[in-house]
Amino acid sequence: MSSIVSDEAPKDEFSWPPLESNPDVLTNYLRSIGLPSQFSIGEIFGFDEDLLAFVPQPVLGIIVCHERLISKSDYRPRDVGSSDNYDAVSFYMHQSGTLDNACGIIACLHAVFNAPNIDLDPESVLGRYRLDTAKSSPGERCVALESNAEFRRIHAMHASMGQSEAITGDQSKVRHHYVAYVLDVRGEDLVELDGTKDGPVIVGRCDGDLLRGSIREVMGKLERGEISESLSMMTLNLSQE
């Protein structure tokens, strides 16, 4: 029997409220559900090499919060994603309307579950969810998260934290979307993971440099006018505490 704690998932997208793009909030959230304390979320303060030198290494995942300026119909064919790319990563999940505002935690799940050498406690919320959905399809993983009452309760608690006022009940105020960038299972290609797309997007060769490969991709989106300059980039990395 599945160990997922579940009930009937509410259909209101604000049952999973938006998260602030705040490294401390995301770190506390992830640790509360089972991320080992030696890992944390950090902030990228700029793209200059002088600033990148301060980014803790190794970088295990990239989380980007940005404002999209184009609709899905305007995506380049490569950027739609494909189910053919599922095997490029260890974990990918879709994002439903109910999880419309849960893109922050979905991006975090994509980063954590595709990172090498993170051993999760199988009794933690993260560990149970990963084990229970190990053989599930991306759509089934979405449904499992929707109906996980314990996960939803913890999410709502952390969505009320941070420096900005929490957004509740007004979808027009939700302007930003989270995605994750990870290395493929070979550790060579950069992959964009966005649960609203058809599947993983194989960005291309980055020779294992996840940080700079992700920055190049984000800068390309900025130059093409696909996203606004209102964005933040964060890393999943070993904690410096």
The closest alpha carbon to 216, from 190, 180, 198, 197, belongs to 190
Tell me which of 65, 110, 177, 206 is the catalytic residue: 177
DSSP string computed for 145-212? HHTBHHHHHHHHHHHT-SSSPPP-S-GGG---EEEEEEE-TTS-EEEEE-TTSSS-EEEEE-TT-HHH
Which helix (H) or strand (E) element contains residue 237? strand 227-238
**How far, in Å, CA of 193 to CA of 181, rounded?**
6
Which helix (H) or strand (E) element contains residue 132? helix 125-132
Compute the CA torsion angle 47, 182, 34, 157 (nearest 10 deg).
Answer: 60
Does the annotation mark 66 as catalytic? no
The closest alpha carbon to 26, from 129, 139, 106, 115, belongs to 106
Tell me which of 103, 108, 142, 206 is the catalytic residue: 103
Side chain identity at residue 222, one-letter code: L
**How far, in Å, CA of 143 to CA of 137, rounded?**
10
Does the annotation mark 94 as catalytic? no
Q: Which residues are catalytic?
A: 103, 177
